């Protein structure tokens, strides 16, 4: 049968089918992020995907939590009877800015081949390079799906201010997940939080949400480079060291001397984290920070903190932990200033080793 093809009809039908496809995507919202070539064609990544210069780091930042976790090694590891599974959540100091995967806190703990209660300790790095307790809770909630035996939550004061909770892009672009945490675990989120991006119907269509689809695809493509090089971060040959001289500035966000007003801190997010972990033991850690000895170091510890605010925060954390029965470790000053790299919270491999050595006894202790 030799039927004449009418290009206009083909064009019209093609457009119609595409329109239908994009609308179906909006209505269906398939969990495309769960499909991944990682942990099958490529090895899983040792840390969550994050990258500001993908061409050099073979890594990129995206907002799809399913895709992020599906690319992580934790998604490909079935937990054996002999595994004591530890997940660590936290900011860039946990993720490991400027560090190779094996140099991060998780990497160093894994190299120690710890044995807890007769099981092999396997530590998974679920840190992500933005500072917000709500972001940590969101990742913890996802991480709980992988059945950890212990959660280590590394945090610092700068993750607490309310205005930092939803402004980080990863949180802002996961509005439904954050609302779910509010519904299920009592996370306090404003109904009209301007930071949270509410996707319109158009934004959920294939065309409207094309960026997200493209990011997932790019993450899969970069898997080739991750598999072939083991590189997931750009390591500059030179970088600016963390600041040690400061102006005599005692300001800290909107807080005023002499005390941190707890109403301005997301203590509810901290409590939500413990509710999310539920029965799973959790170790709350005040992470190390640079203690400067430069100009005005009698006023400020570092770039982030004036002394009064940080001292008050430490006292508050001790009191809160005692009050709630949380296992809390304060490692604020265990790392010497020369073991920090480009920020007051980013450590050198030796600095991370020091933290790992301090945390290892707690891991062994908390397995029981």
Partner 1 sequence: MALENILILAAASFLWAALLRDRGRTWFMLIASVLVIFWLQPTLPIRGFDFWIPVATLVIAIFSWYITANDEARRKRKNWGVFALVAGIVLLLSLTRYFPIAQILTASRPPPIETLLAVIAISGMVFFGTAHLNRFNVTLLVIGIFILIVVFLVLKIPALTYWLSYGLRALMSQSLTSVSANDFHWLGFSYVAFRLLHTLRDRQMGRLPSVDLGEYLTYVIFFPAFTAGPIDRLERFIKDLRAVPSPQSHKDAMTQSEKSSRLRAFESSWLNETVYPAGQRLLIGTFKKFVLADSLALIALNEANAAQVTSTLWMWVIVYAYAFQIYFDFSGYTDIALGIAGLLGIKLPENFASPYLKPNLTQFWNNWHMTLTQWFRAYFFNPITRWLRSWQKPMSIPMMILLTQVATMLLIGFWHGITWNFTLWGLWHGLGLFIHNRWNDATKAKAAAWATTPAREAMLNSSGILLTFHFVALGWVFFALSSPATSWQVILILFGVN
As a whole number of angstroms, the distance between CA 353 and CA 348 comes to: 9
| CB 161 within 8 Å of CB 265 | yes
217 near partner 1 (CB under 8 A): yes
Based on CB atoms, which residue is closest to partner 1, 223 or 349? 223
Candidate residues 55, 198, 241, 251; the one interacting with partner 1 per rule CB under 8 A = 55
Based on CB atoms, which residue is closest to partner 1, 11 or 322? 11
Based on CB atoms, which residue is closest to partner 1, 8 or 27? 8
Based on CB atoms, which residue is closest to partner 1, 4 or 192? 4
Q: Indicate the helix (H) or strand (E) that contains 28.
A: helix 7-28
Candidate residues 3, 9, 78, 229; the one interacting with partner 1 per rule CB under 8 A = 229
Shortest reach from residue 93's CB to partner 1, in Å: 26
218 near partner 1 (CB under 8 A): yes
211 near partner 1 (CB under 8 A): no
> Where in 73-112 is the site for partner 1 (CB under 8 A)?
none
As a whole number of angstroms, the distance between CA 198 and CA 345 comes to: 32
Shortest reach from residue 224's CB to partner 1, in Å: 4
Residues 312-317: contacts with CB under 8 Å, at least 24 apart:
312/258, 312/259, 312/260, 313/157, 313/160, 313/260, 314/286, 316/260, 316/262, 317/284, 317/286
Shortest reach from residue 302's CB to partner 1, in Å: 34
Candidate residues 15, 17, 224, 257; the one interacting with partner 1 per rule CB under 8 A = 224
Count interface residues toward partner 1 (CB under 8 A): 16
Q: Please state whether 117 falls in left (phi above 0), alpha (psi between -120 and 50) or beta.
A: left
Residues 6+ apart with CB under 8 A from 349: 99, 103, 108
Shortest reach from residue 77's CB to partner 1, in Å: 22
The stretch near partner 1 (CB under 8 A) out of 107-115, 138-146, 214-222, 269-277 is: 214-222
Shortest reach from residue 225's CB to partner 1, in Å: 6
| CB 253 within 8 Å of CB 302 | no
2 near partner 1 (CB under 8 A): no
Tokens of 299: 């006023």
- Is the link from the previous residue into 142 a cis peptide, with omega within 30 of 0? no
Q: Indicate the helix (H) or strand (E) that contains 83.
A: strand 83-89
Helix (H, G, I), strand (E, B) or coil at 151: strand
Candidate residues 77, 227, 316, 331; the one interacting with partner 1 per rule CB under 8 A = 227
3 near partner 1 (CB under 8 A): no
| CB 262 within 8 Å of CB 364 | no
56 near partner 1 (CB under 8 A): yes
The stretch near partner 1 (CB under 8 A) out of 3-11, 247-255, 276-284, 301-309 is: 3-11
Q: Indicate the helix (H) or strand (E) that contains 121.
A: strand 119-125
Site residues (vs partner 1, CB under 8 A): 7-8, 11, 54-56, 217-218, 221-222, 224-225, 227-229, 231
């Amino acid at each position: 049968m030799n039927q004449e093809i009418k290009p206009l009809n083909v064009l019209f039908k093609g457009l119609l089918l595409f329109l239908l496809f994009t609308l179906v995507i909006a209505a269906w919202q398939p969990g495309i992020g769960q499909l991944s070539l990682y942990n099958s064609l490529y090895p899983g990544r040792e840390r969550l995907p994050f990258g500001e210069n993908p061409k050099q780091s073979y890594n990129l930042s995206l907002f799809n939590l399913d895709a992020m976790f599906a690319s992580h090694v934790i998604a490909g590891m079935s937990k054996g009877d002999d595994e004591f599974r530890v997940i660590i959540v936290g900011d860039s100091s946990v993720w490991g800015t400027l560090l190779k995967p094996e140099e991060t806190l998780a990497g160093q703990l894994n190299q120690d081949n710890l044995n807890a209660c007769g099981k092999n300790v396997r530590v998974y790095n679920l840190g992500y390079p933005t500072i917000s307790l709500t972001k940590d809770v969101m990742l913890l909630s996802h991480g709980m799906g992988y059945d950890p035996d212990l959660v280590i939550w590394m945090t610092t004061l700068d993750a607490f201010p309310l205005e930092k909770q939803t402004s980080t892009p990863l949180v802002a672009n996961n509005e439904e997940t954050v609302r779910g945490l509010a519904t299920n675990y009592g996370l306090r989120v404003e109904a009209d939080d301007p930071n949270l991006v509410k996707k319109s119907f158009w934004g959920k269509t294939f065309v409207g949400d094309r960026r997200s689809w493209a990011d997932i695809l790019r993450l899969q493509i970069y898997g080739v480079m991750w598999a072939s090089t083991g590189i997931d971060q750009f390591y500059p040959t030179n970088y600016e060291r963390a600041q040690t001289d400061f102006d005599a500035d005692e300001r800290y966000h909107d807080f005023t001397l002499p005390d941190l007003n707890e109403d301005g801190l997301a203590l509810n997010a901290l409590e939500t984290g413990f509710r999310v972990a539920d029965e799973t033991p959790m170790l709350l850690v005040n992470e190390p920070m640079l203690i400067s000895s430069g100009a005005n170091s009698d006023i400020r510890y570092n770039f982030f903190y004036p002394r009064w605010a940080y001292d008050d925060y430490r006292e508050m954390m001790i009191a809160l932990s005692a009050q709630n029965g949380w296992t809390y470790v304060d490692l604020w000053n265990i790392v010497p200033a020369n073991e920090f790299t480009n920020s007051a919270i980013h450590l050198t491999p030796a600095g991370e080793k020091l933290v790992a050595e301090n945390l290892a006894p707690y891991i062994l202790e908390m397995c029981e």
